[in-house]
Amino acid sequence: MKVLKIGSRGPQTELVQLALSRRDGSMDAPDGIYGPETRRRVTDFQSAEGITADGIVGPQTWRKMEPWLTGFVLHRVAPGDSFYKIAAKYGGSVRAIDAANPGIDPFNLKIGSVLTVPLDFKVVPGNISFGSAALDYCLRGLKARYPFLQTGSAGYSSLGRPLHWVKIGNGELETFYNAAHHANEWITAPVLMKFLERYAEACVSGGEIGGRDAQTLLSRASLYIMPMVNPDGVDLVTGDISAGSAAFSRVRELAANYPEIPFPSGWKANINGVDLNLQYPASWQLAKKTKFELGYTQPGPRDYVGKAPLSQAESRAVYDFTVKRDFSLTLSYHTQGRVIYWKYLDREPLGSRRIGEKLSQLSGYALELTPPESAYAGYKDWFIGDYNRPGYTIEAGIGESPLPISQFDEIYAANEALLSYAITAAEDN
């Protein structure tokens, strides 16, 4: 993490503000500007934590803030401790401690053993610019709270960021959701992460997610989620890649070839200027022809198909991840338009229309045919083409990307029932 001080700006400052507001319960919306008020709050935080109160967020302060970003602390069991006492000490709940520590007998706590103690707030924020650092914290936090989640990396981005995946459920039916192929559509990443959190929580509480019984879903299907296919691009758009860095200078040069597209807010591509959702082997030559005719002939902010299909680390990783599994249905999240695309060429996998209509009904998004200029080389196109199974592009929200985070709650609300239904939709055919 970066060293932050007065004058710092960006998503990491938002993370600090998020941690501070969770800790003091103020729940102020982060603004990403490290001004005098943020410095005062950091200094107070440092004093309370017993570290040097210099108002600068360095490695030690970041470490102290971690529980407020991951949502848990580690507690060493002392004589006389009980789940109840520990919950009271940290403001958490007995049920949450129980869920986070499977196999531990609460009536026979071993003194000196270490327990994971969830804190009393939701891990996934809906009010910050959600970049790769936020995703790392959230995944660590959810894994600690819900040890039945499995996590891994499908590979690494061009800049070396892990391409995280997470699996929830243990049924035979396999389903796959991915998001943020496009950099300035990063708002889709916290949508999937929030769904994951609410689904896991419902499994523990014996409740429902999107109107369906969570435990039943868990036992019927294995849901794989890759929340951020393009972490480098997301970090560029959210402002986490410093203006002085080599990576930033390089992309700015690429962006200069397309002066009419705002930079970096108009950036959809990965850090090499390749549009990852034009990288899949599904009429890729046609995608190339179409996009070249529109003037996207070289690396840049959007719509450049790359030198060959799967030439980029990120699209290759998603492809390999898919090939190794047996997905019966996939959803790819994008933004703009409140539309669901369900077809590739004339392919109509069994049940795909009916499932698409249901997705449309649950979200209020329109089910439409893909417009001709984006009909090729996308993830959905390749999945439908190669597997002849239902695959969808969900275009969430409306307006110019990046959508403001103020749309987050509305987007999430429109998608929860859809996300829940799609987990087993292929089998309910």
- Beta strand 391-396 pairing with 339-341: antiparallel
The yes or no reply on residue 334 touching Zn ion (CB under 5 A) is: yes
CB of 397 to Zn ion, least distance (A): 11
Shortest Cβ distance from residue 369 to Zn ion (Å)?
17
Burial bucket for residue 334 (CB in 10 Å: 0-12, 13-18, 19+): buried
Helices 188-205, 408-422: inter-axial angle, 10-degree rounding: 60
The smaller minimum CB distance to Zn ion, of residues 275 and 416, is found at: 275
> Does the annotation count 376 as an active-site position?
yes
Q: Binding mask 280-319 vs Zn ion (x if CB under 5 A, - otherwise)?
A: ----------------------------------------
Cα separation, 398 vs 241, whole angstroms:
26
Q: Which is nearer to Zn ion, 75 or 182 (CB)?
A: 182
Considering the complex, state which of residue 199 and residue 379 has its C-beta at the smaller distance from Zn ion.
379
Cβ nearer to Zn ion, comparing 185 with 232: 185
The minimum distance between CB 47 and Zn ion, in angstroms, equals 45
380 is a site residue for Zn ion (CB under 5 A): no
Burial class (CB in 10 A: 0-12, 13-18, 19+), 301: buried
Q: Which residue in the block uniquely carries the two structure tokens 């060493």?
A: 76
- Given the complex with Zn ion, which of 309 and 378 has the nearer CB atom? 378
One of 376, 379, 387, 421 is an active-site residue; which one? 376
Mark the segment that binds Zn ion (CB under 5 A) among 96-104, 176-184, 198-206, 339-347. 176-184
Question: Could you tell me if 394 and 365 are in contact, meaning their C-beta atoms sit under 8 angstroms apart?
Answer: yes
Does residue 37 carry a catalytic annotation? Answer: no
Which of 174, 185, 314, 395 is labelled catalytic? 395
- Angle in degrees, 0-180, between the axes of helices 11-24 and 132-145, rounded to the nearest 10: 40
Which parts of 182-201 interact with Zn ion (CB under 5 A)?
182, 185
Q: Which stretch binds Zn ion (CB under 5 A): 24-32, 327-335, 340-348, 365-373?
A: 327-335
d(CA 134, CA 9): 15
CA atoms within 13 A on the CB side of 323: 10
At its nearest, how many Å lie between Zn ion and the CB of residue 161?
A: 19
Output Rg (C-alpha) for the chain, integer angstroms: 22
Residues involved in catalysis: 376, 395
- The residue ranges that bind Zn ion (CB under 5 A) are 182, 185, 334
